[in-house]
A and B are shown apart, each in its own frame.
Chain A
């Protein structure tokens, strides 16, 4: 557990002539990042989130207040020792250009006195663990893409198996597709490792996706709200948080609500290669096409089939919800489907049935009614601050 107690960071004024108090970067922050959980610090630029992070490993010294890790005041520890016990990942990875990937990852174990062989074999394990080809180990950072460098950065931070990790916008410098991959793998890794993580981002969507709890900071380093992502979306404390959390929050909050068991409608299907007559015989304007294993491939407009169903006539817009997914994925599947019937698959990706938006809405209403009758959970949030991100409903998959 990382604990901030009344932590303030004040910088002397740059002009410095008026004898003023200077600018405050972090203002009397009290916060706990629980063991084994991801705590995300989010806020606009100037909210002191990076300053807060860097005070933990004493790259910045607080003006007042104390920061403790598992009950030990960080100010009382040897600074090099403290830092070697904390994994640190930053935006541009900050790899050592003159060292191979393997030696980059082996850095902290080597600093801790582990012999070269052991450090390297441990590094090799981590390179594979973060999803890199072992052949990359001999390369230099300049030979890697941004996403690969970031994976190396994560592997390097994990190399000495530190209980605590500090991550400063680690996924901000890569393109959105790679970012999402990295985020998903990061959550998978964290569900195995259970590190105590303090994560800084300016991206509220990332904060809500990754955080077990999210701390929203306002300019001047004041903590505006500390809550679970679901609570944050459902019940922002003030206009600032509401504005920062952004639009669509009612919809986005459904990400944290597991899909209830709803009765699905059986959907008649065709296979690839089915003739035009077979498709039209079903009698609906849109017909669902499935693959050999029963996995949904996409919708076909019956009138558009000339001789047989081919991949090129498949409509790709619809998302597929999972029975183990979230209400949001379920509603999205219905909304994105050209037929209005949302495709639902089981955990193995096989078609189970379809559902209309009008059938999902009552489930959402019922959830709200249940929540407002229970005084303990006025927000109706499905998950509390202590639920791990890994326990969340799975993300929606796109129909292929």
Chain B
């Protein structure tokens, strides 16, 4: 506890870096997964291809991806962009299926009514399908957020600064306190992400909390 308080500045600084490395890919991944999921929901054949491909991306070990990306992107090994890109890949892998499922979950008669009222396909996506898919997408985002926070810590093995540093450093120095501090800090950060997503989702879906007639 004393150790944690003595190093609170460093912990907060690395937590900020960790949040950035895990959070930005969450947003980027969602932005990419939305059109992919939309395509998958519209075209059954494309759906199988898209979901299998994106699903496979998640099986690439993170350490391998951190090392493979620099030659592909032309970045330096220590460039945080590698981590951002890798985490975005994982987020897309997790969210494409969620977005597709969320968009497909819209009730048939609601969809039919929207078409019959003269919504074009993009307008319908924006005004009907997407708002109704928010609860499902938010659930997927929560999984992706926790997954990102956990995977980012691996990046300390290639020297990118974030909370994972406390794990590798503590291990190297045989100093368990520091390892525990790193674990608890990661956990708290994951909880904050989770809370933010839940609050935003609640704000966007007032209709889900009404009492049925």
Contacts and interface: CB of A to CB of B under 8 A. Distances in A.
Interface of A: 57, 59, 79-84, 86, 88, 90-99, 107-108, 111, 139-140, 142-145, 148, 153, 156, 166
Contacts of B114: 94, 96
Interface stretch (B5-13, B60-68, B116-124, B183-191): B116-124
B167 interface: no
A132 to B, nearest CB: 13
B207 A59 contact: no
A300 B138 CA distance: 66
A145 B213 contact: yes
A139 B128 CA distance: 18
Given A94-B107, A94-B109, A140-B207, A83 B213 contact: no
Contacts of B212: 142-143
Contacts of A108: 117-118
B117 A59 contact: no
Nearest to B120: A80
B205 interface: yes
A97 B132 contact: yes
B208 to A, nearest CB: 8
Given A96-B114, A97-B132, A99-B207, 16 more contacts: A59-B116, A88-B117, A92-B109, A94-B109, A94-B110, A94-B111, A94-B114, A96-B113, A96-B128, A96-B132, A98-B128, A98-B131, A98-B132, A107-B117, A108-B118, A139-B210
Provide the main secondary structure of the chain B interface.
helix
The 10 A-B residue pairs with the shortest CB-CB distance in the complex, in nearest-first order: A94-B113, A94-B109, A83-B118, A84-B118, A88-B116, A140-B207, A80-B118, A92-B109, A98-B207, A140-B210
B115 interface: yes
Contacts, number: 78
A384 to B, nearest CB: 32
Q: Which bucket holds chain B's interface residue count?
A: 20 to 34
21 contacts: A57-B116, A59-B112, A80-B120, A81-B118, A83-B116, A86-B116, A88-B116, A88-B117, A90-B112, A92-B107, A93-B109, A96-B110, A96-B113, A97-B132, A111-B117, A111-B119, A140-B206, A142-B207, A142-B212, A145-B213, A153-B113
A90 B109 contact: yes
A26 to B, nearest CB: 18
B211 interface: yes
